[in-house]
Amino acid sequence: MENLVMMEYFEWYLPDDGNYYKELKSKAREIKESGIDALWLPPITKATGTNDVGYGIYDLYDLGEFDQKGNVRTKYGTYDELIEAIDALHNEGILVYADVVINHKAGADFKETFMAAKVNEENRTEDIEEAHDIEGWTGFDFPGRGGKYSDFIWHFNHFNGVDFDDKTGEAGIYRILGENKGWGYGVSPEHGNFDYLMFADIDHNNEDVRNELFRWGEWFINKVPIDGIRFDALKHIDYNFIRDFIAHLNEKSDRQLYFFGEYWMLDSELKRNYLEETGYLTDVFDTTLHFNLREASENQQYDMRNIFQGTMVYESPANAVTFVDNHDTQPKEALESFVQPWFKKIAYGLILLRKDGYPCVFYGDYYEIKDPYIPGNKDIIDNLLWIRKNYAYGDETNYFEKPTCIGFVRHGNEKHPGSLAVVISTGDADTLVMNVGADQAGKVYKDLTGENEAEITIDEEGNGAFEVAPGSLSAWAEKLD
């Protein structure tokens, strides 16, 4: 299949009504017909409660089967409803990627006493108190599951950090002490060492933990017919573990799995290093492109010729998952960095109509965001998806000539002959001369977005003067009707 597009099929404020899987099942055909080939689902494992989006992970083995944390279902429904939804998506030829959270655990069943040292939150390699006994919520025995699927009980020695001492009531970051225990090595160097993120931080260098997570991963891909995994919080997980975990799943899987993850950082060198250390077994989101898009949307003097500067899609295109916004960047969230609404058409054109990257459409941009309410751009994105599927093929030539007006041409391929000329303006109405190929001479091009009613005739050398409205995008191709 060519020109695959995935969708992050959730936003932060979906209703806690347990109907998500049922609605997903009913919309399978509609999703496929819109031009979406794969869905990234929210975490499907049991979290701290049904009002938890899923990142406060409690029990990896509970997919909505056991009465734990106040309900059998997760926020999204039951295990049986999940399987019915996936089957419906597969029947429409849609791939399914599961969001996997293996950085931390939350909602422990009991607390334990252990030695820990409080560290400087800005430099986690620096102890700011002498080691002493603290009480932390680190015991997980999952009484509602009763040992089904796994009898592994998590204790403090399976973690390397917590954020609260229940003995004193003090918050902070506490490094758990023990033989051969410390922060992970292959993580982001931010804050000295950014292994710790939240809750009880899993020690991926503990041999019992590694074995249990490997067992769980093998169980998971057999229990749920997924086509891939999206890793949460990659920069907080030792790359040695991720490399070995993926290799184990690839060895045990009876199908090809796709792996990608969140490495939330602008430093492209660190991301490239993570890719190298994990053997390029996982792709990563292009966070730099996201922030470039956001800056361009907030500053109409932004030089659009720099839109791909420092991005993964430019430097490591084979491993880049491109996106405009997601559940973390939407308003009110910790990583809020929302691309302004006027720029959405341009931003999605830059990920959907270009050659490189695996584009990911955000549910909130497509349908709506509920809190605060922001309407979606379904009609705009549907149009761009249609253009991608029918016209965006072949080699690419860039015309990045003006700070506020850039363009590019896709030259087609054997199955999809003809060219696509895309022109973008972040300023006034403009015109950009681009060459679509001498074989297009004499053909009449129209704007497939419907925004511009002009018709452009390609000259004998293959050049066309392609127009664009103020602050918009037009995509020109041969008029066939």
Is 277 assigned a catalytic role?
A: no
245 within 8 A of 275, measured Cβ to Cβ: no
Q: Active site residue: 8, 65, 163, 232, which one?
A: 232
- Distance between CA 242 and CA 279 in Å, rounded? 10
How far apart, in Å, do the first and last CA atoms of the chain sit? Answer: 27
Helix then strand then coil, in percent of the chain rounded to 5, is 25, 30, 45
Q: Name the residue type at position 429.
A: A
Is 59 assigned a catalytic role?
A: no
- Distance between CA 188 and CA 271 in Å, rounded? 9
Secondary structure element (H or E) that encloses residue 384, with its range: helix 378-391
Read off the DSSP letter of residue 286. -
CA-nearest of 419, 410, 424, 347 to 381 is 347
Residues 6+ apart with CB under 8 A from 338: 294, 325, 329, 330, 331
Cα angle 118-122-127, degrees, rounded to a multiple of 5: 30
CA-nearest of 296, 352, 297, 298 to 323 is 352
Cα dihedral: 107, 109, 113, 118 (round 10): 0
- Distance between CA 258 and CA 254 in Å, rounded? 13
- Distance between CA 382 and CA 291 in Å, rounded? 24
Residues 6+ apart with CB under 8 A from 471: 300, 342, 343, 346, 425, 426, 427
174 within 8 A of 161, measured Cβ to Cβ: yes
Q: Return the structure tokens found at 377.
A: 């751009």
Q: Active site residue: 99, 262, 286, 356, which one?
A: 262
276 alpha carbon, distance to own chain's centre: 20
Q: Catalytic residue positions?
A: 232, 262
